[in-house]
Amino acid sequence: MIDFTADIKSMRCAANIVLEENISTYIDELYANHRVEVKKYNLPDGEVRSAYVVDGTIIVATLPDGEICSIACNANYQGLYKGMLSTGMSFSQVQKLTKRQRIFNGVIILDDDFGFCYTLPSPYDEIADSIADIPQELILEEVYVADFSSWLG
């Protein structure tokens, strides 16, 4: 059952929706119980992906075959990551609860966990080169669950 209070699990799931499963597993429940908007988008390499925006709270991104590749949660999401981190926290709160924060591709990776990240809002997604560039009071409203391990290079 899709649940906007469910725990967020790195490289695994959010809202009880599991990465690498096919969106078809959830379609009946999505359309029966939620407001869903489907958007198509193109990656720079030309691949077309779909984004299922659910109740304005989560976005489930899928590959062309329907495999779920990422889940984004905004400030409406109530579930926690590691029982302590949530959407809508200030950067200073996140810093106090984690040991290490690093910027990669406009997101903040915490404690070298490349399966969960906070999205930096504009303009910080473009201008922040180091953690010192991020204001302590900045509210981090969106998180992503996916496999970002390829960024380790």
Give 72-129 pLDDT, tens digit per residue: 999 999 999 999 999 999 999 999 999 999 999 899 999 999 999 999 999 998 887 8
Domain ranges across the chain: 13-73, 89-147
Burial class of residue 150 (count of CB atoms within 10 Å of its CB; 0-12, 13-18, 19+): exposed
What was the pLDDT predicted at 128? 79
Band (43; pLDDT cuts 50, 70, 90):
confident
pTM score of the predicted model: 0.94
